[in-house]
Amino acid sequence: MLNSVRADLAIIKERDPAARGTLEILLCYPGLHALLLHRVSHKLWRLGVPLLPRLLSQVGRTFTGIEIHPGARIGHGVFIDHGMGVVIGETAVIGNNCLLYQGTTLGGTGKQHGKRHPTLKENVVVGAGAKVLGAITVGANTRIGAGSVLLRDVAPDSTVVGIPGRVVHQSGVRVDPLAHSALPDTEARVIRNLMERIDALEGELARTQACLREVAAGRPLQEPCRGEAQNLKDREILEFLGEGPGITS
């Protein structure tokens, strides 16, 4: 328990520029308070103590605005920033050094028993108001943009934006968890790629028509009648449509 508290304090100091000291964090950070109560209630939950773990969960919800089911498993160094409106379901699993902003929901789908909430691997960042739903797995070092709704598994080292959440790959490069303004505009980029693809196809069609006219006139061709592949742009379009390697169904 003490090691968990130390890790939680350290991650707050590292990631929150407003944190001015240990005492301020201990007294004024509802995310830390909610985690402290959860670690106690989770221990009691695992011991099979009836009712008391849920009562502690409700106490934490009342005083912090953060609802964490005592069955949820939360690693070390997790930071719930501001925290109001955060909901973490019973079978959710949160890895070490994850960062959750206000309004985050790690929720379930359906009424079946068993695993029905998300698993976040290490160093995942979930933006304000984002919803991660179902028994899905979010790979390590992934960032989920504010307001996104994620319903499918995500590979590591990805950025997810939109409704439903779609992946933009980061080529394995770690991103700054606080750089919210650096989130890509996926829709605009895919639309631009589609327009460029249309331009390329129109250009290829014009070249093909010119080749056909040359052949019909019996003149030798000056260059091959073929275009260049648009592999990168095609891959981005497929990822936007949910058919790329980043998100699996």
DSSP string, 190-205: HHHHHHHHHHHHHHHH
Please tell me whether residues 91 and 211 are part of one structural domain.
no
Given 154, 182, 210, the domain boundary residue is: 182
Please tell me whether residues 43 and 131 are part of one structural domain.
yes
Please tell me whether residues 218 and 119 are part of one structural domain.
no
pLDDT digits (tens, 9 = 90+) for 171-182: 555 555 555 555
Given 150, 165, 182, the domain boundary residue is: 182
Please tell me whether residues 207 and 85 are part of one structural domain.
no
CA distance 249 to 136: 10
Runs of H (alpha helix) within the chain: 2-15, 22-28, 30-46, 52-64, 186-216, 231-240
Nearest to 106 by CA among 115, 76, 17, 97: 115
Q: What is the pLDDT along the chain (249 residues), one digit of tens a residue?
A: 677 778 878 888 888 788 788 888 888 888 889 999 999 999 999 999 889 999 999 998 999 999 999 999 998 888 998 889 999 999 999 999 899 999 999 998 877 788 899 999 999 999 999 999 999 999 898 888 888 899 989 888 888 888 887 776 555 555 555 555 555 566 666 677 777 778 778 888 888 888 787 777 776 666 555 555 455 566 666 666 555 555 554
Please tell me whether residues 107 and 192 are part of one structural domain.
no
- Structural domains counted in the chain: 2
Burial class for 218, CB neighbours closer than 10 Å (0-12, 13-18, 19+): exposed
State which residues form the domain around 242.
186-248
CA distance 74 to 91: 10
Please tell me whether residues 178 and 191 are part of one structural domain.
no
- Computed from CA positions of residues 173, 179, 180, 186, in that sequence, does the dihedral angle turn out positive or negative? negative
Beta carbons of 152 and 144 less than 8 angstroms apart: no
Which residues in 14-165 belong to E strands, given as ranges? 67-68, 73-74, 79-80, 87-88, 93-94, 99-100, 105-107, 119-120, 125-126, 131-133, 137-138, 143-144, 149-150, 153-154, 158-161
Please tell me whether residues 126 and 171 are part of one structural domain.
yes
Given 182, 202, 217, the domain boundary residue is: 182
Please tell me whether residues 46 and 105 are part of one structural domain.
yes
**What is the CATH number for 170?**
2.160.10.10
Please tell me whether residues 146 and 243 are part of one structural domain.
no
Q: How far is CA 195 from CA 161, 188, 191, in A?
A: 21, 11, 6
Please tell me whether residues 147 and 213 are part of one structural domain.
no
Please tell me whether residues 175 and 197 are part of one structural domain.
no
